[in-house]
Structure 1
Amino acid sequence: MTQYIYQRHTTAMSNTSGFSVSKPVALWNKPINADFKELFKSLGKGVINGVLGQWGEVAKDALEATAALGLAAAPEEVAWLLIYRSLVEAIVSLIKGNQELLFEKPNESDLELLCDRLNHSLESIELRIDQDFFRRPKDLPILEAIKTAFADWLKYFSVNQAQALTISHRLPTYFVYALHQEWAKNPEKYACLKEELDTPFTQANKREHSWQCYLAWLQKQIEEPMFLEAFSLKQVYVPLHAYYKRKVAGEKSEEFERRVRDDDKYQRIVLDLEIELEAWLEKGDCHDAIRVISGGPGSGKSSFAKIFAANQAQKGKIPVLFIPLHHFEPSDDLVDAVGKFVRDDGFLRHNPLDKDKADSRLLIIFDGLDELAIQGKIATETAKQFVCEVQKKVERFNARENCLQVLISSRELVVQANISDFRKPQQILHILPYFVTEDERKNYIDEQNLLQQDQRQIWWQKYGNASGRAYDGLPQELNQDNLTEITAQPLLNYLVALSFNQQNKFPTDGNLNAIYANLLTAVYQRGWAGYQHPAIRGIDETDFVRILEEIALASWHGDGRTTTVREIEAHCENGNLKRLLDKFQKSAKLGVIRLLIAFYFRESGVKEQEKTFEFTHKSFGEYLTGKRIVREVRLIHKKLKARQDDPDEGWNEREALKRWAILCGASHIDEYLFKFVADEMRLQNASDVGNWQQTLCHLISFMLHHGMPMERLTPRPDFQEENRQARNAEEALLAVLNACARVTETVSKIQWHTPEAFGIWISRLQGQRITTNTDVFCLNCLSFLDLQGCVLVFKDIVQANLERANLENANLKGANLVRANLKRANLEGANLEGANLVRANLVRANLKGTNLEGANLEGANLEGANLENTNLARANLAQANLARAFLVRVNLTRANLKGANLKEANLARANLLRAYLKGANLEGANLEEANLEEANLLRAFLVRANLERANLERANLKESKR
């Protein structure tokens, strides 16, 4: 036999995960005498017998069959052994990843005939290996034949034609990955190839080979199936658009910078996200080596990060390291943390940031900065420290030349909290949805006309091809204005597709929770195939959902994403769900594992020597947690009412609060979870929600008077942990009360035992802001709240949501209400002397008799507000919008109204003595009998203004238009 002399490619990351040869070599042929019939039979029996999570054993049995192949020590036969084992591993991995789509047929004789036919079709194929095999293993001729046979085998188990082709199409990628893994696991079995076939595995140094293995893994990641479907991310991925903010050109005064809204200071420049980042990589500027991708949940951040990592690694210009931050343990030193990550990951045999082993160039993609901020303020600080450490290390590595570039993805709020660290032009790239309405496009500069394209149509075409449903674009039933926000977001659009395909009646009200509920029912019923999944046989739908809720709760109580079987069992025990676990076949533990493997979860690592599982999509866990919280509200109301009706039944307030502390104390509720709670409330009966609202008001009042009963927890935490959990539980009470109020649109009447009780409580929940950009979650939950007579002197309530709150006679003297939402709030008789209301929203607010003396209302929106008898002496109303405001008998003595919009405002009998109205718009305003003595109306716009009997003595009307 002609000896093979292979030579390693000189590039560490070649264009494919393969190798080139130094000179042409002869071909050798190997007839296929492996019994594929036994392979397909053993795999088929694995499905029929419901093996499910034990595919490793099936693979082991299939591989042991190679002992009967009669293989000798000849290099060509050992090479065939390597190929065959890799093929088996790839096929088993594909089946395991799509096992929820397989439904058995009872006739094993049919399976025997099928396997005979498949084996016969493969026997006549000659395996030809030439010099290109290790360089391009995907091109191995037998792969096409195996793909066809495998697709036929899949169809036997009720997998439709499109699904079978989609799954089998991924075989080459899985085969390449398995090839690397097989060599790495059993190098001694292939030792003879070192002498005869100078293969790339032996010629390459360990570092280069580990990069090749890692590349194969990256390719496999984007080929893995999306949950409930046969296709992969790669098959339906649509390239994303994004924008960056560019400061408005031209010199601007400090006054302009101070008073103009942030959105007006910047232009939004649209770009193709992948093209932009490729250009950034190509430029390789050592002074501009960090980019940030910002987007909301489900905007496609992680999908893009995976695709981009795989694509750049495939191109081979620069090594790529992809790090999901929920699998990453940050430390004081980034080099050490990366070293630990690659050791635990097991692919790379060296730390690519190690001083002595560092590659000449490296791209690190950190996916999910918000995963470091999952447990509230402390973790938010961890995220900020992590960003600072990344910046320091990038500066150190790039001191002389560009060596390290870093791409970070994160949810928007965490990026906002760290925005001061990202100041370079185009450093933060904000992901855009699949579709931007024509009206919204006016907010962007889109020189490439990227926003003209409705990418939903492209996604649905790809989805139709991959799923076999033959969509040529977004279905007409879903192309509705009230669904645009959902279908424009990548993840939500995908969930809509799943729900739309499985349900006869699709919810069209735009409530995401309704879509998730539809999807959950579809999963349970398995309506598309007519079979129920073996993992949930004997369990009704209510119990199925209930257990999923408890799993989500276990994840929320952990790190927000992952959990273990032990933690799930503990939660089910505490929640009296042991009977549900017992419904699973065999042991409860096996039942939980089967459920996790079958639905929405994937293995994600090890925690305390136990496997961890994570939701395939984080927002699905948030939905189930929100659903669980609403379930508890319903139960608490029921139990408290039962106690009222019969003192021997139900719970008292302490027991109810104890239950609440167990449910919501371990973790901090955030705005993402809150949205799911609010949407779930909207799905409930409105009268029930009204009753729950009253119950929660009563519980909060009781809690403020008596405290959270943390002493009842078993085991009881130490004081610091007890205090943390109490605060979390109290904030959750406020948040869920607000979710109820948003449904009923009625004011929540809490009994405040003292005028300062609310102020003390909100200060405890609020804590200390870390940066000026930090949003405080609890301040978003104050709408519809009765704060009548409350003392909030000098209170920090920046950006608080007080829409339709009752602040009658409240003392807000000196309070900071910058950008607060006070739309339709009742502030009658309130004291806002010296308060900061810059850019506050006071549309249609009731400010009758309010004291706003010396208040700063610069840029505030007072459109349609009632300011009758209001004291605005010395108030700053520059650039304020007072259009159609009711200002009868208002005191505006020496008020600053420069540039204010008073169009059609009613200022009858207003006192504007020495008021500053330079450049104000008073078109159509009613100034009848108003006192404008000594007022400055220089260049004021007074067209159609009613100045009848107005006192204009010594007023400056120069250049005014009347």
Structure 2
Amino acid sequence: MTNRPGLAVKKPISVWNKPLKANFKDFFKSLGKAGVDAATGQWIGVGKDAIDALSAIGLESNEPEELAWALIYNALTKAVASIISDSQFLIQDIPNSVEGLSDSLDLSLESSELEISNRFFEHPEQLAIVKAIQTPLRQWLEGFGIEPFQAEVLSNRLPAYFVFALNQEWRQRSQTYARITETVQTPFTQATEREHGWRLYNSWLQKQIQEPMLFEAFGLEDIYVPLRAYYRRKVEGHRDDGDDLDVRPAHGDKGNVERVVVDLSDCLQAWLKTADKNDAIRIVSGGPGSGKSSFAKIFAARQAKTGAFPVLFVPLHQFDPAGDLIKSVGEFVRYDEYLKDNPLNPDDDSLRLLVVFDGLDELALQGKLAKEVAQEFVREVQAKVSQFNRRKTRVQVLITGREVAVQESFKEPQQVLHALPYVVPEEERKKERYEPYLDTANLLTNDQRNDWWQKYGAATQKPYSAMPEELNRGNLTEITAQPLLNYLVALSYMQGKLTLNEQTNLNTVYADLLNAVYDRSYEDNRRHAAIGDMTREQFIRVLEEIALAAWHGDGRTTTVEEIERHCSNSGLQRLLEIFEEGAKAGVTRLLAAFYFRQSGVRGNERTFEFTHKSFGEYLTACRIVRAMERIQKQLDRRREDMEEGWDERDALLHWAEVCGPTRMDTYLFSFLRHEVALKPVDQINQWQQTFAYLIGVMLRQGMPIEKIDPPLKFQQANRWAINAEEALLAALNSCSRVTQDLSNVDWPSKEAFGTWVGRLQGQRLGPENVVALQSLSNLNLDNAILFCRDFYGTFLEGASLKGAILNLARLDQASFKWARLEGARFFDASLKRANFWGARLERASFEGARLEGASFIDASLEGALFGWASFVDVSFENASLVDVNFENASLVRTDFTTADLQAISWNEDTNWEDVIGLETAMNIPEALKQQLGLMQLGEANET
């Protein structure tokens, strides 16, 4: 098999000269007519069948010269048609006469001679006719209203598209072109069917990164900026307390872990080159929009282009993770247009393969949590890779995905690489309380947003040498630092649709882009067929329902049947019919490519998928907020008229229908919080009271899952109830984070909350918390019984737990910032690295508690009990410790900087080893000064 991405010659041949005598003029005429609706005069698009029909030339003879010309012509016309098909969303105008436009094209190439030499088989993209045809292609695109610079960019794609089409043409009609291989030795002469497949697949990978993006003429490769990443490692010589590496250290654990910064591509290149059979898997982890999937496509294409060994790219949302990995890969390529044999064949002695699995977080199986599926998949990959590489390195695997809990399977440095944003502010790099960056090459000093805007300016012919100054502002930094979101900001900014104010967040960026797309479809008073007569509100409403259908499915993909059912249930059937009519007429990427696109068939149903999962999550959050609005409206109607609106059970049923089928994850919760925050505060206040009330009703009467139609089996009904109940809590918390008011739920009993949250939590699969444990801030839990409860890493900021019983609870890394905890009991509780910053803890009991690394900065602890408690690296900086009992406590390296120690009590068993900050502490008892030898402090501490 040749290692070249194109065609390579093994035997020189004489030059073939062939007068073209080709009528490209008729080809362009036919292409234009195929894409225009004769009745309406609107552009409806060029489909695959039309491309195949237009790009087939009849043969004059069976001579090799004629066959070679047919091969080139068919590949060339197919490439031209594909470029037009991929960019048809940019078409703005239909010429008055398609024939007149075609007649005006510069087709002087038709009178020239086609020269085919051995160089053609080595570099087909350099054939003179390929460059010559770019001129009429550009003119044709301009004639259909595409901007000149965009037409230039698109026509420059022809060489890559031609190589792909050439390989495809040979693969499809190998018998027709057999005489060529009988005459000369081409790359196809000795190649097996399998090698044909890899050659075609590799050219497809190159084409993927050049295909137009979203609403643009340029491709991913034109604006791609190389990613930086970091891996985490323990600092040499530092104590290891056994915690997982991916748990962020808190106060008192400084310097435990450092982040080593690397160029992501260079780091993976070195890994491939080393090819250690015992270190053959890498994970690239990153949040939504961090550029990991774009990186995966670029890396796979560039590795394939080197020809070192084959590269298989697997989008995991199209992959069945169940069972044996080899069988799953075989099933995946079974329907592939290019590869016919299983690349992961254990009987292939010459096997050397890089497999890129993209989107670990998008694996889904019915009845299983995504994280559980991901862990099982990774274990299967590890097992199979180990078997393949028993004697030598045959397979290396790169997996990308959001931050998922598979890190425990990879303990060695560099195995898990975390994608970094375009910019990491200097103050964040130097925060002592977090993990420091080790950046020996000073990679982080470069703000890559400027690099991206330079490339974007070149691709759009705009004079950008750096990021526009008005976008370089504090509240936008977090958004523009992420590759995908930076691009979305650029799209809205270029169209003048971006809202720039202090409230600008990720949701407003998506909303602005959504509005820009709708407005764009009405430019110059031309209505896009896909939108029809829909208003802006109706257009967004349909997209929300599609997003909900996808969320209820696998999170990304849904079928037309599921969309229709959701729309029918929501009274949107008529709007969907408008949309579907447009879709059947050929929905272009103006609507489809960014939001959702037809992706295949499930059963007998067409499927649509969101090309960017985060956009589906945004729309789903909007749909959930719409459900909140509807519930409030219907309950208000019932209060005004007993025969109108809904009662509480009706409201809970509607909530179960919206939020029951699928569990909310952290990313959707984030979108929900941001969307709620954009509503008027008075409305949010009302929602907070309503959802607190509904939780109380639910706890007494249960979720009305029995009313779901069709009826659910018990296990399914139980899962729906848990999902809906957790979403209730998430909605309530989203409101309280805006109002900062306590949420007062009428708990049926003191143990009701603990029982409920335990049901929502279930069994841990790792240190990450379910949404329920991220939704407890500002919640009134006074006097709650939470004995032995697992609240590891729980977010309880601003909550009220006066008199609550948390004895023997696990509260490591929990956050109680500004919480009300007067009289709370933490007897023998584990509070390692817990944060009590600014909390009210008067008379709280921490007897026997483990408080290593905890923070009580600015906390009020008058009368608190710390007998027998274990302190290591605890901070009481600026805390009020009046009348606190430290008898038998161990206070190793505890920080009392500016703390008030008036009337504290201790005994001879209190351990004051290496305490710090006493020189600035106030009201230190004289007896303690004498015991610790601090008499020299004099009266300085009394002020």
Distance in 2 between the 1:527 and 1:917 partners? Answer: 72
Distance in 2 between the 1:547 and 1:259 partners? Answer: 45
Instruction: Find the counterpart in structure 1 of residue 444 from structure 2.
Output: 451
What SS is found at the alignment partner of 2:121? coil
How many Å apart are 1:496 and its aligned residue? 0.6
Q: Aligned partner of 2:678: which letter?
A: L
Alignment of 1:139-288 (within 5 A): 139-250=126-237, 252=239, 264-288=255-279
How many Å apart are 1:356 and its aligned residue? 2.1
Distance in 1 between the 2:48 and 2:352 partners? Answer: 38
Distance in 2 between the 1:941 and 1:55 partners? Answer: 89
- Relative to structure 1, is the Cα distance of residues 358 and 686 closer, same or farther in structure 2, using a 3 angstrom cutoff? farther
Instruction: Find the counterpart in structure 1 of residue 69 from structure 2.
Output: 80
Q: Which shows bigger deviation, 533-542 or 214-223?
A: 533-542
- Counting aligned pairs with the same residue, the percent is 49
Instruction: Find the counterpart in structure 2 of residue 9 from structure 1.
Output: none
Distance in 2 between the 1:253 and 1:205 partners? Answer: 55
Distance in 2 between the 1:649 and 1:300 partners? Answer: 50
Q: Aligned partner of 2:72: which letter?
A: I
How many Å apart are 1:841 and its aligned residue? 0.6
Q: 2:458 aligns with which of 465, 475, 481?
A: 465
Instruction: Find the counterpart in structure 2 of residue 311 from structure 1.
Output: 302
* Structure 1: segments with no counterpart, 5+ residues: 1-11, 950-962
How many Å apart are 1:821 and its aligned residue? 0.5
Deviations 1:239-273 (CA, angstroms, capped at 9, x unpaired) = 11111122211263769999986773222111111
- Relative to structure 1, is the Cα distance of residues 253 and 181 closer, same or farther in structure 2, using a 3 angstrom cutoff? closer
Distance in 1 between the 2:345 and 2:633 partners? Answer: 60
Alignment of 1:662-681 (within 5 A): 662-681=657-676
Q: 1:605 aligns with which of 600, 605, 624?
A: 600
* Structure 2: segments with no counterpart, 5+ residues: 431-435
Instruction: Find the counterpart in structure 2 of residue 643 from structure 1.
Output: 638
Query: Quick check: 1:920–1:941 contact (8 Å CA) kept in 2?
Result: no
Query: Quick check: 2:783–2:805 contact (8 Å CA) kept in 1?
Result: yes
Alignment of 1:130-141 (within 5 A): 130-141=117-128
How many Å apart are 1:359 and its aligned residue? 3.6
Query: Quick check: 2:233–2:413 contact (8 Å CA) kept in 1?
Result: yes
Q: Aligned partner of 2:515: which letter?
A: T
- Relative to structure 1, is the Cα distance of residues 261 and 167 closer, same or farther in structure 2, using a 3 angstrom cutoff? farther
Instruction: Find the counterpart in structure 2 of residue 5 from structure 1.
Output: none
Structure 1 residue 691 corresponds to structure 2 residue 679: no
Query: Quick check: 1:794–1:815 contact (8 Å CA) kept in 2?
Result: yes
Structure 1 residue 346 corresponds to structure 2 residue 341: no
Structure 1 residue 927 corresponds to structure 2 residue 926: no
Structure 1 residue 43 corresponds to structure 2 residue 31: yes
How many Å apart are 1:595 and its aligned residue? 8.2
Instruction: Find the counterpart in structure 2 of residue 952 from structure 1.
Output: none
Q: Aligned partner of 2:64: which letter?
A: P
Q: Aligned partner of 1:451: which letter?
A: L
How many Å apart are 1:39 and its aligned residue? 1.9
Instruction: Find the counterpart in structure 1 of residue 433 from structure 2.
Output: none
Q: Aligned partner of 2:814: which letter?
A: A
- Relative to structure 1, is the Cα distance of residues 945 and 834 closer, same or farther in structure 2, using a 3 angstrom cutoff? farther
Query: Quick check: 1:927–1:945 contact (8 Å CA) kept in 2?
Result: no
- Relative to structure 1, is the Cα distance of residues 129 and 280 closer, same or farther in structure 2, using a 3 angstrom cutoff? same
Q: Aligned partner of 2:172: which letter?
A: K
Deviations 1:644-690 (CA, angstroms, capped at 9, x unpaired) = 11111111111111111111111110110111111111111111111
Query: Quick check: 2:548–2:623 contact (8 Å CA) kept in 1?
Result: yes
- Relative to structure 1, is the Cα distance of residues 454 and 668 closer, same or farther in structure 2, using a 3 angstrom cutoff? same
Instruction: Find the counterpart in structure 1 of residue 355 from structure 2.
Output: 364
Q: Aligned partner of 2:272: which letter?
A: L
Q: Which shows bigger deviation, 667-676 or 921-930?
A: 921-930
What SS is found at the alignment partner of 2:387? helix
Alignment of 1:716-795 (within 5 A): 716-771=711-766, 773-795=767-789
What CA RMSD, in Å, does the superposition of the two structures yield over aligned residues? 2.5
Alignment of 1:389-538 (within 5 A): 389-412=380-403, 414=404, 417-442=405-430, 443-503=436-496, 506-509=499-502, 510-526=504-520, 530=524, 531-538=526-533
Q: 1:26 aligns with which of 6, 10, 14?
A: 14
What SS is found at the alignment partner of 1:188? coil
How many Å apart are 1:599 and its aligned residue? 4.7
Distance in 1 between the 2:936 and 2:51 partners? Answer: 86
Structure 1 residue 582 corresponds to structure 2 residue 577: yes
Distance in 2 between the 1:549 and 1:348 partners? Answer: 37
Q: 2:807 aligns with which of 805, 808, 813?
A: 813
Q: Which shows bigger deviation, 790-799 or 284-293?
A: 284-293
Distance in 2 between the 1:429 and 1:15 partners? Answer: 30
Deviations 1:710-758 (CA, angstroms, capped at 9, x unpaired) = 1111111111111111111111111111111111111111110111111
How many Å apart are 1:382 and its aligned residue? 1.9
Q: Aligned partner of 1:890: which letter?
A: V
Query: Quick check: 1:908–1:930 contact (8 Å CA) kept in 2?
Result: no
Distance in 1 between the 2:204 and 2:458 partners? Answer: 26
Distance in 2 between the 1:367 and 1:652 partners? Answer: 46
Q: Aligned partner of 1:391: which letter?
A: Q
Q: Aligned partner of 1:161: which letter?
A: P
How many Å apart are 1:589 and its aligned residue? 6.5
Instruction: Find the counterpart in structure 2 of residue 300 from structure 1.
Output: 291
Q: 1:847 aligns with which of 817, 841, 846?
A: 841
How many Å apart are 1:942 and its aligned residue? 8.2
Query: Quick check: 2:498–2:512 contact (8 Å CA) kept in 1?
Result: no
Deviations 1:768-793 (CA, angstroms, capped at 9, x unpaired) = 0123x333331111001111111101
Structure 1 residue 634 corresponds to structure 2 residue 666: no
Deviations 1:71-124 (CA, angstroms, capped at 9, x unpaired) = 33222222222222222222222222222111233512xx32321122633323
How many Å apart are 1:928 and its aligned residue? 4.8
Distance in 1 between the 2:585 and 2:101 partners? Answer: 32
Q: Which shows bigger deviation, 194-203 or 837-846?
A: 194-203
Deviations 1:373-423 (CA, angstroms, capped at 9, x unpaired) = 6878533222111111111112111111111111111111x1xx2222101
Q: Which shows bigger deviation, 137-146 or 502-511?
A: 502-511
Q: Which shows bigger deviation, 667-676 or 157-166?
A: 157-166
How many Å apart are 1:51 and its aligned residue? 5.4
Instruction: Find the counterpart in structure 2 of residue 801 from structure 1.
Output: 795
How many Å apart are 1:948 and its aligned residue? 6.9
Q: Aligned partner of 2:771: which letter?
A: F
How many Å apart are 1:873 and its aligned residue? 1.4
- Relative to structure 1, is the Cα distance of residues 348 and 150 closer, same or farther in structure 2, using a 3 angstrom cutoff? same
How many pairs does the alignment contain? 926
Structure 1 residue 92 corresponds to structure 2 residue 81: yes
Instruction: Find the counterpart in structure 2 of residue 551 from structure 1.
Output: 546
What SS is found at the alignment partner of 1:552? helix
- Relative to structure 1, is the Cα distance of residues 476 and 74 closer, same or farther in structure 2, using a 3 angstrom cutoff? same
| TM-score normalised over the length of structure 1 | 0.92
| TM-score normalised over the length of structure 2 | 0.94
Distance in 2 between the 1:721 and 1:689 partners? Answer: 32
Distance in 2 between the 1:253 and 1:617 partners? Answer: 40
